[in-house]
Amino acid sequence: MQDNPQQILMPRVGITHGDINGISYEIILKAFADARIMTLLTPILYGQSKVLSYYKKNFGIEDFTYSLTRDARQAWAYKFNIINIVDYELKIEPGQPSALSDEMSGVSMKKAVEDLQSEYLDALVLTPSSQKINQKLGGLMAAFFNNPETLRVLVSDFMRIGLVTDDIPLREALAKIDVAMVVRKLEVLSKSLKTDFGINAPKIAVMGFNPHAGETCNTDENDIVVPAITEAQNRRMLVFGPFSPARLFVKGAWLKYDAILAMTYEQGVMPFKLISVNGGAYYWAGLPAVCTAPMHGPGFDIANANQASPDALRKAIYLAMDIVKQKKGGI
């Protein structure tokens, strides 16, 4: 297929539909209710028009218009586009995670990642799915992009925190971390800060494992974190630490750095959410493509109640667009 001639300038941003029984369709409808956003990008939802119509009616957003397309390359500029991932009708059960909603989350994600890998999309934004589906994401990305070293980065308007390990049990996370792993993650973060965020000489604060990391002698820091920092410095990265959470966050020392590397998921997410009160987005650094997501779950407890805010989804969309622009030379 040939590209739609209207689709030369604006970035194509794919959007997965997440869990159909959660809040994803609500935040998508609210985020794109103001048509002015369509002058900045061409959105392509990998979902189903009948599900969108169901939620449109429930939330009284009847004037929301969209165009169906079979191929991301044929998406219409200045319109909200939908690629129907299945042709049959889906059973919608707001607030109730189900085998069907998990399956449809996976189908949406697979089709969207295929198009991202084929460069039919400039970026991909993932809306919330169940934890079961989210845990498959890493394997899916690795399979499509030949197993690159990646790093999930938490991004707000003024803070970036990379996670050495993702949301896995703490005991399992600590067992995985070694010097080589920390150095690899530092390399990914440092390169991303340069190429994706336009920071020429990024400074990175590295957290330790223990409450008084860097202040007392602890085996974990001396055997893993300190040697990793030394090796990164030998590779001409501007990295500092190890820092304890109190030393880094309580008096605002983190403001001196362009990013932070946390050892575990909770170690990074907890201070991020406390400080970034306006929310943030996830970014997968190290991928050869741009992929972001809002920092919240599928919200089954408030599904279909017209209570979900689209702010985090907007942040994920604008973050993706900013990185696409930076990768293209800031044009």
Q: Are 141 and 181 contained in the same domain?
A: no
Judgement on whether residues 2 and 136 belong to the same structural domain of the protein: yes
- What is the distance in angstroms between the CA of the first residue and the CA of the last residue of the chain? 27
Measured distance CA(141)–CA(151) in Å, rounded: 12
pLDDT score, position 97: 92
**Cα(234)–Cα(227) distance, rounded to whole angstroms?**
10
Burial of 315 (0-12, 13-18, 19+ CB in 10 A): buried
Same domain, 160 and 138: no
* Alpha carbons 291 and 124: distance in angstroms, whole number: 5
Residues 158 and 117 in one domain: no
Residue 218: predicted pLDDT: 65
Residues 254 and 314 in one domain: no
User: Is the same domain home to 319 and 232?
Assistant: no
- What is the rounded distance in angstroms from the CA atom of residue 87 to the CA atom of residue 284? 31
Q: Are 20 and 120 within one domain?
A: yes
Provide the pLDDT for residue 278.
79
Query: With a cut of 50, which residues of the chain have pLDDT below it?
Result: 1-2, 5-8
- 227 and 173, same structural domain? yes
Residue where one domain finishes, among candidates 258, 279, 300: 279
- The pLDDT of residue 5: 46
Whether residue 72 is found in the same domain as residue 29: yes
Residues 135 and 205 in one domain: no
Our count of domains for the chain comes to 2
Instruction: Indicate which CATH number applies to the domain containing 329.
Output: 3.40.718.10
pLDDT of residue 77: 93
For residues 83 and 140, membership in a common domain is answered with: yes
| pTM for the structure as a whole | 0.92
* pLDDT score for 1: 45
Which of the 8 DSSP states describes residue 200?
Answer: S
Can you give the residue range of the structural domain that contains 271?
Answer: 153-279
